Structure 1
Amino acid sequence: MSIDQMLSKENSLLKEWTLDPNFPDQMRFLDVNIHLKYPDVDSLLEFEPQERKRLIAQDHREKFNELIQLNLFQDYERIGTTKRPTGVKTKIPFSALAEIQKLDFVDIFTEKVDGAKKKKQRKQSVFYCVKMTVVAQIEGVDSGLEQVDDQYVLIKAKSHDDAYAKIEKQKDEYEVRYLNSDGRFVRWKIESYDDCYQTDIKSFKDLKDPRGSEVYSKYRTRRMNPDNVWDGK
């Protein structure tokens, strides 16, 4: 199989790498992490949790043994435990690529390729949701309740820090003063940046998804509600 044929594969292990054509393929090895796939969860539905754990461990051992017996590599480091292996770290020869990519019970991740450089991945901008606390300041008022606005702002950026920086540059727009009905000046001030969530939204086109678009998510815990008890079926 030629390099061009290798790279044309949709899920090629080499798609993120530029190979040196002067480096001989017979000397080329790949450092890879090979992870065993989970069994079909629906097949475990009828079993109790402890039995499921036993069956998953058994499934992983069988897949692990099958992988080793293929003799696609020599030395390896087991990922996981003897009782429940989850994969291996190893080196595979370039000549074994076609065979190993046929395996349907593993996921493979390339860490290093001899005689190759990893392609620089251009950082793409996506939408981030910045959660911030904005407070109303009213001229001369120094007691009582103050009005607070919990704001969630979508902004396109390349990272969490970039999102915060872009909001920070616009903070003066929040502090534009105006007069209220009492003749007092009022302004809104960003009191704190509370969180920043990276969404999967890359363009406004994504907002047209009929399934909707998640803009913010944060896990928390609370006392169990009896109405939420579930038997798993």
Structure 2
Amino acid sequence: MKTLFSLDNWTMIKKISPDKRMAFATIYVKYPNWKMVAKLDLPDRKKFRDKFLKTNFQKLIDRKYFDTYEVVGTKRRPSGVKAKLTLASILKLTKQSFIENIFIHQLDGAKEKQNKPTYNFFCVKMTVSIQVEGLTKGMQSCEDRYVLVKAQTVESAYNKVKKQEKQYGEPYLNSDARLVRWKIESYDDCFAMNITSIDDFNKPEGVEVFSKLRSRKITSDRAWSGR
């Protein structure tokens, strides 16, 4: 699993050896895996977690790769540090089992690359009413419509869909000789998908195209004991 992030975002403009090239980074220590605590009671889980983090935190401090640091998290539950250290030290830390991940924010003798505009897939949810000419009473069919678009931002995703609104709502003649149109009543939500390439759709586990959290009452068949 990748530990060091953002090093690829830097272009080295000065020739400096890793043991002399200084970097400012956030270093996170390993968090306990759920299997480690599954059989423990809640109070014991908290104690185990806090002790686990403190132990890994102390292992990081004991390496003495930096003189001063800022604690990430709390003293009771430290999750890492922000510190200035050499690139060589960072590379050594990536091989340690007590390290979760490292993010470099500044790097001496290097220039941060300009990010190119990226396009992602978004799923736009909208409400559509099916309007039939002359019908003013009774039941009306409507649709929750989901459309995938490739865009840079949520706003641009909405704009792409809205540009097709007139064409989408073009009336047609039904079998009763009445005009019918599918009218977009509202744009309800836009979900940013973790997909950047068409190839992602070929993943054996599939892809998540839309997600929205909601609350409901807990019942016996919906509850989980954790065992």
- How far does residue 23 in structure 1 lie from its aligned partner after superposition? 6.5
C-alpha separation in 2, matches of 1:43 and 1:155: 41
Matched, 1:42 2:39: no
Matched, 1:161 2:155: yes
C-alpha separation in 2, matches of 1:18 and 1:217: 37
- The 3 A distance-change label for structure 1 pair 153 and 98 is closer
**Is this contact kept in 2: 1:131–1:152, CA < 8 A?**
yes
- The answer for the alignment partner of 1:29 in structure 2 is 22
- How far does residue 113 in structure 1 lie from its aligned partner after superposition? 1.4
Corresponding letter in the other structure for 2:181: R
Q: Which residue, out of 188, 206, 215, partners 1:221?
A: 215
Matched, 1:117 2:83: no
Q: Which residue, out of 199, 202, 208, partners 1:205?
A: 199
**Is this contact kept in 2: 1:129–1:196, CA < 8 A?**
yes
TM-score (norm 2): 0.88
Matched, 1:126 2:126: no
Question: Deviations 1:187-210 (Å, cap 9, x if unpaired)?
Answer: 111111111112233344333333
Matched, 1:103 2:96: yes
Q: Which residue, out of 43, 56, 66, partners 2:49?
A: 56
**Is this contact kept in 2: 1:75–1:90, CA < 8 A?**
yes
Q: Which residue, out of 52, 58, 67, partners 1:65?
A: 58
- The 3 A distance-change label for structure 1 pair 41 and 26 is closer
**Is this contact kept in 2: 1:72–1:100, CA < 8 A?**
no
Corresponding letter in the other structure for 1:228: R
Matched, 1:141 2:135: yes
- The answer for the alignment partner of 1:20 in structure 2 is 13
- The 3 A distance-change label for structure 1 pair 212 and 176 is same
Corresponding letter in the other structure for 1:216: F
Corresponding letter in the other structure for 2:116: R
**Is this contact kept in 1: 2:128–2:186, CA < 8 A?**
yes
Corresponding letter in the other structure for 2:212: K
SS of aligned partner of 1:229: coil
C-alpha separation in 2, matches of 1:61 and 1:83: 8
- How far does residue 161 in structure 1 lie from its aligned partner after superposition? 1.5
**Is this contact kept in 2: 1:206–1:213, CA < 8 A?**
yes
- The answer for the alignment partner of 2:84 in structure 1 is 91
Moved more, 143-152 or 106-115: 143-152
**Is this contact kept in 1: 2:200–2:207, CA < 8 A?**
yes
**Is this contact kept in 2: 1:36–1:105, CA < 8 A?**
yes
- How far does residue 22 in structure 1 lie from its aligned partner after superposition? 5.5
- Gaps spanning 5+ residues in structure 1: where? 1-8
TM-score (norm 1): 0.86
Matched, 1:74 2:67: yes
**How many equivalent residue pairs?**
225
